[in-house]
Structure 1
């Protein structure tokens, strides 16, 4: 699916991380990619993250998945919403919804959450720490947006949901199938289904916090440090008060800390691996039997398209005249043909591999390793 009426440059300049935008059906032809019953079936699976939010007795309650199939028959006329995370990992047609939003770098894209709701169903007024495009897939939904929020915004007491205590809508729209509402980080919003079988596709983005970056990078650095790398003061001289931590000592200790954090190349390598780690690393996407380089060459020679796993995260950085390719938490050092191939794999979700790569040992080695870790697969054209 692609847009036919959407100005990317204007959007990034005037709206991205600035203010909400209603985008009335920009698709060449909108087709809802998933049926409500199919989403309910996914919610029953053990390896799928799902939540059922229902409004009964004057309060919202939340049940985490897997959701028993019989539970859906018990809902009756309750105002309920079923939410399923990362549906793009399992349904290629849902993964295709991400493609029009590739004007945002791959490393910032998270997943597509899909919801289906009965009339009046919603999850309450809330705010997120990330950008989101809310695509109306089926039925209608009324969206209200409010003011900017932060950690000081009062919330209602609730064990599972972060609900804004005093939500005041500033704008309101009813979205029809194919319409999109963009909501920047921190903006309060509230959606409620208008009629049954209301489906919404939420294309969400990643925004690491400073605390996450510092904490995880430092944890990674600790594995590379030795116990004998310690503070020393061979030029120590007497001081007037032994209780003082002298400025010279603070300066040296501070420099020790910053020196460990200041290696940009080490940070880039760490961040690429950290950021490309699968959302659900416990799911094993590897083939049952590893394939050899010769088998890869044979498949490529047969002109079978090479596809990225929708659950995989691909990105790269340029470093030291080559490419560091990151896929599913692993780093691959690439040069020449393998570097060119790495860029293609990051730019496109599926490629027909050219002959020059088939004849390159480094390119074949890269494809073989990516295939055997479950990041790539061969799929015949329909």
Structure 2
């Protein structure tokens, strides 16, 4: 199968701002997002033929439609320091982390290799548009979009994931075998987490435009059947409660620095003579209990800002670069009335009620209402346009622009 080399690339559309959640979507085989979430999400797999109708229409018109990102583009991206990439070979299994020189990546005609590129939504607008299709799922759950490109026989072996994933076939064919087996033990002495006893229960070949949804802990094995096979994986993270509570506690502890009343020293004028000097004094326990009650540290709402801040942090390898010639606050404000202001592709924005967190920081706290409202729009719509809030050098909106967290729309970001 070599026709895809000459095919025209598929141009994914961006999803509308207001998603029709009760309407049937081709992406889910003619069911609505509401029905998908109710019946399949985090519950059971779903195979969708023709999830992207453009590929089926092209085939009916005897046209060839290829991936939005060519093989040469992906290989070039794998050579960049800012792109997280991995090269996996089988027979025997081996694993290497990028960046890679072009010579170190096998030719498409060579078998038994896979190149994985993480976080592609930050590096190509087509990947970001694909992610917009899934914004009926909370942003806090989204991890990233990974692209795998492989030679014939390429794959990562039978394995399972601890998160939900949508596997979209974009070029060539891939054979998927899945199983809901309980035995998830791994093979020892391998560089990859490969299942020791994989017993497939379903076997499908996905064509370009098909999609397979898998909830967590479903064993699966995908093998490329064509040279240059591309699978785009939209993954959703599922942090442990330990991780969330640790991060929430850490940020809650930091917030205590802003409370000068806590600098007051413990005093115990009512302390009585004790026969058990080794025991923590009841007077200390009593006073700490009162402080915890006053600070409401036993209430979940005190933890949620820290957890939201943590979930809004960008990927560790994210790199932000401010504008080469930054606008003054007044010119920045004027530009807001004329051009769209967008989050950088690597920026994460989440909301907790009326509070907005961007890249781990609370951007609405202590800000004038018009700035806070601008952040709420950015969080919900991922775009800000036609507004001219009053700005100063201390405005978090302007600071985020200077830091490269927010950028004005250009031809490249369309």
Q: TM over 0.5, yes or no?
A: yes
Equivalent residue, structure 1, for 2:33: 8
Alignment check: 8 A CA contact 2:318 2:346 kept: no
Q: 1:202 aligns with which of 233, 254, 274?
A: 233
TM-score between the two structures when normalised by the length of structure 2: 0.78
Equivalent residue, structure 2, for 1:136: 169
CA–CA distance in 2 between the matches of 1:41 and 1:102? 29
Equivalent residue, structure 1, for 2:335: 299
CA–CA distance in 2 between the matches of 1:255 and 1:162? 49
Say if 2:404 is the partner of 1:374: yes
Equivalent residue, structure 2, for 1:346: 379
1:366/1:251 Cα in 2 relative to 1: closer, same or farther (>3 Å)? Answer: closer
C-alpha offsets along residues 319-359 of structure 1, whole Å, 9 cap, x if unaligned? xxxx21111112112564334322321222334x12xx31x
Superposed displacement of residue 317, structure 1: 1.3
TM-score between the two structures when normalised by the length of structure 1: 0.84
Equivalent residue, structure 2, for 1:268: 304
Superposed displacement of residue 79, structure 1: 0.4
Superposed displacement of residue 144, structure 1: 1.4
Q: 1:284 aligns with which of 317, 320, 327?
A: 320
**Higher mean C-alpha displacement, 5-14 vs 211-220:** 211-220
**1:111-130 to 2 correspondences below 5 Å:** 111-130=144-163
CA–CA distance in 2 between the matches of 1:185 and 1:366? 38
Superposed displacement of residue 296, structure 1: 1.1
Equivalent residue, structure 1, for 2:21: none
CA–CA distance in 2 between the matches of 1:377 and 1:176? 37
Query: Tell me, what secondary structure is at the counterpart of 2:121?
Result: helix
Equivalent residue, structure 2, for 1:172: 203
Equivalent residue, structure 2, for 1:89: 122
**1:182-221 to 2 correspondences below 5 Å:** 182-221=213-252
CA–CA distance in 2 between the matches of 1:128 and 1:251? 46
Unmatched 5+ stretches in structure 1: none
Alignment check: 8 A CA contact 2:87 2:114 kept: yes
Say if 2:112 is the partner of 1:79: yes
Alignment check: 8 A CA contact 2:78 2:100 kept: yes
Superposed displacement of residue 237, structure 1: 7.6
C-alpha offsets along residues 24-53 of structure 1, whole Å, 9 cap, x if unaligned? 223352562211111111111112111000
Equivalent residue, structure 2, for 1:43: 78
Alignment check: 8 A CA contact 1:107 1:313 kept: no
Alignment check: 8 A CA contact 1:304 1:380 kept: no
Say if 2:45 is the partner of 1:20: yes
Aligned length: 368
Alignment check: 8 A CA contact 1:291 1:368 kept: no
**Higher mean C-alpha displacement, 228-237 vs 303-312:** 228-237
Superposed displacement of residue 289, structure 1: 4.2
1:298/1:231 Cα in 2 relative to 1: closer, same or farther (>3 Å)? Answer: same
Greater share of strand: 1
Q: 1:154 aligns with which of 185, 189, 213?
A: 185
Unmatched 5+ stretches in structure 2: 1-12, 16-24, 56-64
**Higher mean C-alpha displacement, 79-88 vs 4-13:** 4-13
CA–CA distance in 2 between the matches of 1:229 and 1:121? 64
Q: What's the RMSD between the two structures over aligned residues?
A: 3.3
C-alpha offsets along residues 115-143 of structure 1, whole Å, 9 cap, x if unaligned? 00111110011111111111111011111
Say if 2:89 is the partner of 1:54: yes
